[in-house]
Amino acid sequence: MFEGQPKGLYALALANTGERFGYYTMLAVFVLFLQANFGLTPAASMSIYSSFLMFVYFLPLFGGMAADKWGYGKMVTIGIFIMLFGYMLLAIPAGAGVTAYAFMFGALALVCAGTALFKGNLQVMVGNLYDSPEYAGKRDAAFSIFYMAINIGAMFAPTAAIKVMEYAQSIGFSEADSYHFAFGVACLSLIISIAIYYGFRYTFRSAEGGKEKMKNGNNEKMKNEEPVQELSKEETKSRIIALCLVYAVVIFFWMAFHQNGATLTQFAKDYTATSSTGLQSMMFDVRNLVAVIFMVYALFALFQSTTSKGRGIAGLIIVAALCYLGYQYTNLPESVAVSAPIFQQFNPCFVVALTPVSLAIFGALAKRDKEPSAPVKIALGMLVAASAYVIMVVGSMGAPMPEFAADGQTQHMADFSPNWLVSTYLVLTFAELLLSPMGISFVSKVAPPKYKGLMMGGWFVATALGNQLVMIPGLIWGKVELVWVWTLLASICILSFLFLMSQMSKIKKVA
């Protein structure tokens, strides 16, 4: 998994980890912030949330176009500073009036614009590292590692947001103002990301692109670089069509997946138990989840290491993790508070823990020439996502309709087991691992060389459209029984699976 990868991969992945940590810290509490600070209803707050996500993923289309002309590295640099200014503006406690709305929407606009230049182009740079024959066979594994790094940042984000908000309240700030402290964490993480990017830039300069860099005479790079593949108009057209078919399905995956910050968070707030006891409560401490992740990786090292020293170190890590978990269990409090945003830690945690598992499974299938192609994995991802919402259908049976207070806020209605949401996030993670890193890898592989930035931007446009559709379940929240909200999402995923399988012959021609 990690062997033989270029150093630039790890530098880019770590830079992205810092940026994603800030982004997901903000996102973990954003819907709840809109309700607490501005008194917005769930429908209104989820509409703003989904529109923000839509622009975050739509604008990289134009960021990709700019990078195709001026270079990926230059656009990434500009983008990360624009995002920093956005988070700084969002961190200012401006109250709940017109000025506060102006600050919030201005901050969101800056974050969207900065992400447009940063996110997609950074991923193109990762793909560029694997254009040479030396690394071409490691592309899928590289994007899995890169995707895992994203989720390492996201895994700690909900806990960071909750803890810093608790600290703000402990020193006298109101609940509404405490959210701005969480947004301030995003500022710090961006600064760390900038330091990583510039500190290790020498490892990925060859992937930055740009006509200016070539004009200025990076002669060594030009000597070693593979010639750009020239495609016929017909082949270019067939590749673009195949990518567009995948994009069409990706729209509905992200509609379903990004309910984690919308209806699934609302379910956590209104219908899930606010406390947990016993063994179950251990999963709400991110430190315990990290210990489990160490065990997973150590187990792989134990069986894959070729030296007794390596196996010995792996064994010690496993024992240390078990001892730590045992200590944590024997010192559990009677009850652990369960806050709605904390559930968003489970998806990235599962991604980090299960990435080596998925790579091992597909690696074993590849050795037997039975590994499914990236488009088939994407289709299967939609089927798995559907099963995640089937879990929510079962778990929500008998749930009362939401009730609204005089100020339009929903009230806590029931105390369903947290295991329903955790199980849903686990299954959604399996779907994500089948679809997202494989989809990004597929785009970087199939995109016509002259349109790499544009085609990666197309992936984000599809994601953007899906994020805009996130609002649909939110608009019917409280108007229909909960089982119908989840049934809608499950049905959309199944239909997307059937559509993509029906088009597979066209896609496999270029895969």
**Which pLDDT tens digit goes with each residue over 353-389?**
988 888 788 888 888 888 888 888 999 999 999 999 9
pLDDT at res. 221? 42
Residue 150 binned pLDDT confidence (cut-offs 50, 70, 90) = confident
Q: Residue 392: which of 364, 424, 419 has the closest Cα?
A: 424
Cβ–Cβ under 8 Å, residues 96 and 499: no
Residue 172 gets which letter from DSSP? T
First to last CA, the chain: 22
Reading the block at residue 136, the tokens are 């071409």
The pLDDT, as a whole number, for residue 214 is: 42
Per mean pLDDT, which range of 32-36, 428-432, 455-459, 498-502 is the poorest?
455-459
Residue 316 in this model has a pLDDT that exceeds 90: yes
Contact 74, 85 (CB under 8 A): no
Q: What residues have CB less than 8 Å from 419, skipping those under 6 apart?
A: 280
Distance CA 274, CA 345 (A): 16
CA nearest 129: which of 183, 193, 205? 205
Domain boundaries of the chain, sorted by first residue: 7-214+234-274+338-397+408-508
Looking at per-residue pLDDT, the higher value among 230 and 444 belongs to: 444
**Which one, of 347, 462, 381, lies nearest residue 372 by Cα?**
381
| 35-68 pLDDT tens trace | 888 888 888 888 898 889 888 888 888 887 888 7
User: Which CATH number describes the domain made up of 7-214+234-274+338-397+408-508?
Assistant: 1.20.1250.20
Q: Does residue 310 register a pLDDT over 80?
A: yes
Task: For 318-353, write each residue's pLDDT tens digit.
Answer: 999 999 999 999 999 989 989 888 898 898 899 889
| Inter-residue contact 117 to 79 (CB < 8 Å) | yes
- Indicate left, alpha or beta for 209 from its phi (over 0: left) and psi (-120 to 50: alpha): left
How far, rounded to the nearest angstrom, does the alpha carbon of residue 183 sit from its chain's CA centroid? Answer: 18
pLDDT at 217 over 60: no
Q: How confident is the model at residue 407 (pLDDT cuts 50, 70, 90)?
A: low
Mean pLDDT of 266-281: 91
pLDDT at residue 128, rounded to an integer: 82
Q: What is the average pLDDT value for the chain, to the nearest integer? A: 85
% of the chain exceeding 70 in pLDDT: 93
**221-257 per-position pLDDT tens digit:** 444 444 555 677 888 888 888 898 989 998 999 999 9
Residues 95-136 have pLDDT tens digits of 888 898 999 899 999 999 998 888 878 888 887 887 777 766
Q: What is the pTM of this model?
A: 0.77
Q: Taking the mean position of all CA atoms in its chain, how far away is CA 246?
A: 18
Rg (CA), the chain: 23
For 161-198, the pLDDT digits (tens) are 888 888 989 988 888 888 888 888 888 888 988 898 88
**Of 250, 246, 243, which is closest to residue 455 (Cα–Cα)?**
243
pLDDT at 423 over 70: yes
pLDDT at residue 271 in the model: 93
